[in-house]
A and B are shown apart, each in its own frame.
Chain A
Amino acid sequence: MCTTITADQEVFGQNVGNFGKLTPKMHNYRESILDAKPYVDPERAILTTEAYKKYQDQQVDIIRARVLEHVLENMTIYIEKDTLLAGNQASHNRWAPVFPEYSMNWVIDELDTFEKRSGDVFYITEEAKKELREIAPFWKHNTLEDRGYASFPPQSRLFYDLGLIGADGNITSGDGHIAVDYEHVINNGLVSYEKRIKELMKQLDLTDIKQQKKLYFYQAGLIVINAVRGFAERYADLAEEQAAQTIEKKRKNELREIARILRKVPYQASSTYQEAVQAIWLTHLVLQIESNGHSVSYGRLDQYLDPFYERDIVSGRITAEKATELLTNLCIKTLTINKVRSWAHTEFSAGSPLYQNITIGGQTKDGRDAVNPMSYLILNAIVQAHLPQPNLTVRYHHGLSDHFMRQCVEVIKKGLGMPAFNNDEIIIPSFIKRGIKKEDAYNYSAIGCVETAVPGKWGYRCTGMSFVNFPRTLLIVMNGGKDPESGKQLLPNYGHFTRMKSYAELIASWNKSLREITRQSVIIENSCDLALEQNYPDILCSVLTEDCIGRGKTIKEGGAIYDFISGLQVGIANLADSLAAIKKLVFEEHRITAKQLWQALQDNYQGEGQESIRQMLINEAPKYGNDIDEVDQLIVDAYQPYIDEIAKYKNTRYGRGPIGGFRYAGTSSISANVGQGHSTLATPDGRFARTPLAEGCSPEHALDVDGPTAVFKSVSKLNTKAITGGVLLNQKMSPQILRSAENCEKLVMLLRTFFNRLHGYHVQYNVVARETLVDAQNNPDKHRDLIVRVAGYSAFFVGLSKETQDDIIERTEQTV
């Protein structure tokens, strides 16, 4: 029998279910952030424009370094009265800076509608609008978006414009989706990078143009390191100034300590725990001033922070409470980072998420359980802060203790949608198989939400390339390659569904067509990557990623040790259920003709007798998520052509240094299931036109009627080993069930089976009661800190559009 974990059992001083409370200081700080209204902030845009004008004759690496330097030297800085960590992204907390170099057209187009959005509302002052309009002309035909569009071959552009392949984030933002080497930053300081660059610079033979190019990268590297150092000094000066004006002794000392620390880190190596946390925060922050790519992640925070914590504990410099307070401070700071996206992109990323991930647990490089005191403190901090950011992932492995698992379940019960679990037992072997060194594979972390990479050694976007809409692809295939909505012929005509004689015929055209779409997605991705490489290198991010300095290359030029990428395939469950319904009801049992079904799809099931067709499709065909082999196998087979095809296409860094240079499949659809659902007509699974698709690899909601074991079984039949970009499974659990300790233990057993025996990749739980959500929809003010799991991340419920809210309510289990 599984041992019962009782509340009085202690590990690292932690009782199950006891997380402690925010200190009054952090309570106040959190309140101030929750109160802060998100505004569009033009400051960075103005500074960036100035720098671009001033340095436009320089090589691109230098331009990018100078831009960051100019922003860091001149942007507004402040230290709030209740913080122990310094560093702000914009001129006020929760204000979202504008990054004009990536895209400016939508910013100007949407100036007057930011406040009128149905979700993810941003405020903007008239003054800000004016300032942004003033700089806009400089960016005409001069942004990533413009350059990306210009580089799309015409046929591929069609797929993008019609929304069949989504890449809005790739073309209107920086890359992100990365964790840099924070372990190295805190242990060695930025000075270590500076030293290495200086040494390598000396060895350059500038008669070789390749080496001359390296020179620019190195010069740029030195500029940004110096800029970060100067930025820290600005905070040190400010802290001293504030200390001088502060009478209250405790705060005065805190400010002096902040000043002392920022004179030292992140340039120098950190010696104390607080120094390390400050160094991490400032670096993490600057990466998100350098670029607005999201999913910039912390990596394995418990692993690299724990030695600092334990040293300070032993020396009596810090207590567990104080260490936790600093962690909550870090969490709240993390939430201050904001990003304004175009409305088109917002539909794919509802809740303005930044997906800043913290990963804990897992195994050490030599395969031992890696849970340490810091892992528990991070759980405490996440519960105390109770915020949608950072995004917490626990790395599961079979040796993870029941005590730690139970503590994780207690966190799940808090309704944060966290932690999510990633599974070492599948991810590590599949990494090793792809050529990742064993000690690196054991050191992976989650990036953003579901996807995984080796922190500090992996290029951008282990996932997060383009989105391919599977159900809509099916409709195009059924329509002889013609998009039913626009009437455009996108794919070769392999015959119309209404004239098909067998399921095999449909699948044959699906296979060929999906391969063509896959190729188009590669062309779109490469176009984005080309424009990013040529014009938007992230110098700091590259410096902090091994082996960019060694190779004298940015990440985009092939500087990283590993470089595998993946896109996101959306609507897995809809495709599965559609295929099952067609196979059974049309071709096997002849309950409806292909013509009747096609007509019903065109009419969105509104025509006469079509509702009963829809009911038949829903009720009388087997559904994915119920451990029914005949339907599960259909999706496995239908997905495989994508998996095979995408593996053929190298990314733009192939052969330029990194191990890999390939692509693989991924399913962490984030909220793209809503956005791509909008552009998808009615589907043969009985889904109405324009409604959301199923998310990730989760079954369509309310159709997984055989309980969680059946869901796990169905999901585990997917070719998980090949879908290295992530197999996202969102599960719901009623809070009532988790009230008893016995049931919490059963949840642990359920997870263990999924991971140990079925080799699942990922799962996360939403336990907010449906009634609470409905109440929050009606009384948003009462629930401003209500957090829900949207897909691979958590968000404030009240900030979502009504449509996304409805989708979540519908997905949430009704409690008895």
Chain B
Amino acid sequence: MTIKQGTDKTRKGLIFNIQKFSLNDGPGIRTVIFFKGCPLRCAWCANPESQRKKTEKMFDEVKNCSTIVGKYKTVSELMKIIMQDKDFYDESNGGVTFSGGEVLFQAPFAIKLAEAIKARGIHLACETTGFAKPEVFNEFYKYMDLVYFDCKQWNPVLHKKGTGGTNELILKNMQTLVASGRKYCIRIPVIPHFNYTNEDAKQFGKLFRKIGVTEVELLPFHQFGLKKYTELGREYELKNVAQLHAEDLLEYQKRLQEAGVKVKINGW
């Protein structure tokens, strides 16, 4: 693929994975479309190959071979794959989930694809950092039947430190989403040394009450992405940080609940 095609913002999208029968990305049986490219650089990111908005090489030392991550695809190419599992969506009330990377980073293309998906009557969800200009977010989320929205830090300074961006836009978009009455789920990736203190939990609770968030999901930190950093030849700051499990978040959950928020731990 040439870069030229990629720069045509609505004709092709840069996709790094398509996963059918994905189990943790919304109701029913779903196909997840992973958009490549993200404006943030979260230190804990489990999909580092999703960050750069261009194709790149990954090298597997064990298999001694390299693969190219990312492919430019048209709406009709993606729809062909999406439609293969239409029977499964219909039977299970499932559908499609946009994930990333950050889908909002390719909003014009994502909206084209969303239009095609909604035209087939398929349920559509997305997983987003919410990091986008409000006018982009406002147009985009209306296509979504369900939005998984990450909230990584309550503190703007720490947010910038851990992700490379401030949380100002994110909180604004979150407020829009919550006020819209659309179905959503706010998710906190709980990361040691970043947002794992009881004080963090308390502050998150305060923030959510202010915005009107009533339900939150906690995603305990895991190391599934470790190998990928090596394959990409990149440094990984959290290499030696221990994984968290559901039981490690019970206290944290309690603190949040004290603020009147319903909290589910989505871990293992």
Contacts and interface: CB of A to CB of B under 8 A. Distances in A.
**Real binding pair:** yes
Q: Which of B88, B90, B224 has the most CB of A within 10 A?
A: B88
Contacts, number: 56
A2 B92 CA distance: 7
A756 B91 contact: yes
A753 B94 CA distance: 11
Given A707-B19, A746-B23, A749-B88, A2 B93 contact: yes
B87 A707 contact: no
Contact of B23 (A1, A2, A737): A737
A706 B93 contact: no
A758 B90 CA distance: 12
Contacts of A627: 84
B28 interface: yes
Given A627-B84, A709-B88, A749 B29 contact: yes
B190 to A, nearest CB: 19
Contacts of A749: 28-29, 88, 91-92, 94
Contacts of B94: 749
A743 interface: yes
B27 A1 contact: yes
Nearest to B93: A1
Contact of B84 (A1, A2, A710, A816): A710
Contacts of A707: 19-21
B215 interface: no
Interface string A610-639: 000000000000000001000000000000
A749 B88 CA distance: 8
Q: Which of A707, A709, A743 has the most CB of B within 10 A?
A: A709
Nearest to B89: A753
Contacts of B88: 709, 749-750, 753
A422 B28 CA distance: 23
Q: Which of A2, A713, A737, A749 has the most CB of B within 10 A?
A: A749
A746 B29 CA distance: 7
Nearest to B31: A709
B92 A753 contact: yes
Contacts of A758: 87
Contact of A746 (B20, B28, B84, B87): B28
Interface in A735-789: 736-737, 739, 742-743, 746, 749-750, 752-753, 756-758
Interface string B184-222: 000000000000000000000000000000000000000
B1 to A, nearest CB: 19
A708 interface: yes
A713 B19 CA distance: 15
For the residues of A in contact with B, the DSSP-based class is helix
A548 B126 CA distance: 64
A2 B23 CA distance: 15
Interface string A1-22: 1100000000000000000000
Contacts of B23: 737, 742-743, 746
A178 B88 CA distance: 35
B85 interface: yes
Interface in A705-745: 706-710, 713, 736-737, 739, 742-743
Interface residues of A, number: 23
A753 B84 contact: no
Interface residues of B, number: 18
Contacts of B87: 753, 757-758
Contacts of B19: 707
A559 to B, nearest CB: 43
Contacts of A739: 268
Interface in A92-146: none
Nearest to B85: A709
A739 B84 CA distance: 28
Contacts of A750: 21, 29, 88, 92
Nearest to A749: B92
A384 to B, nearest CB: 29
Contacts of A737: 23
Contact of B21 (A708, A742, A757, A816): A708
A709 B22 CA distance: 10
Nearest to B88: A753
Interface string B10-47: 00000000011101000111000000000000000000
A187 to B, nearest CB: 39
Contacts of A2: 28, 92-93
A713 B88 CA distance: 10
Contacts of A743: 23
A746 B19 CA distance: 15
A757 B20 contact: no
B103 to A, nearest CB: 21
Contacts of B268: 736, 739
A746 B88 CA distance: 10
Contact of A709 (B21, B90, B224): B21
A749 B85 CA distance: 13
A743 B22 CA distance: 10
A757 B29 CA distance: 14
A746 B224 CA distance: 23
Interface string A332-348: 00000000000000000
B93 A757 contact: no
Nearest to B28: A749
B90 A746 contact: no
Contacts of B21: 707-709, 746, 750
A616 to B, nearest CB: 13
Contacts of A746: 21, 23, 28-29, 92
A169 B29 CA distance: 42
Interface of A: 1-2, 627, 706-710, 713, 736-737, 739, 742-743, 746, 749-750, 752-753, 756-758, 816
Q: Which 7 A-B pairs have the closest CB atoms?
A: A749-B92, A753-B91, A757-B87, A707-B21, A707-B20, A753-B88, A709-B21
19 contacts: A1-B28, A1-B93, A2-B92, A2-B93, A707-B19, A709-B20, A709-B29, A709-B84, A710-B20, A713-B84, A736-B268, A743-B23, A746-B21, A746-B23, A746-B92, A749-B28, A749-B88, A749-B91, A749-B92
Interface of B: 19-21, 23, 27-29, 84-85, 87-88, 90-94, 224, 268
Given A1-B27, A1-B93, A736-B268, 14 more contacts: A1-B28, A707-B20, A709-B21, A709-B88, A739-B268, A746-B23, A746-B92, A749-B28, A749-B29, A749-B88, A749-B94, A750-B29, A753-B88, A757-B87
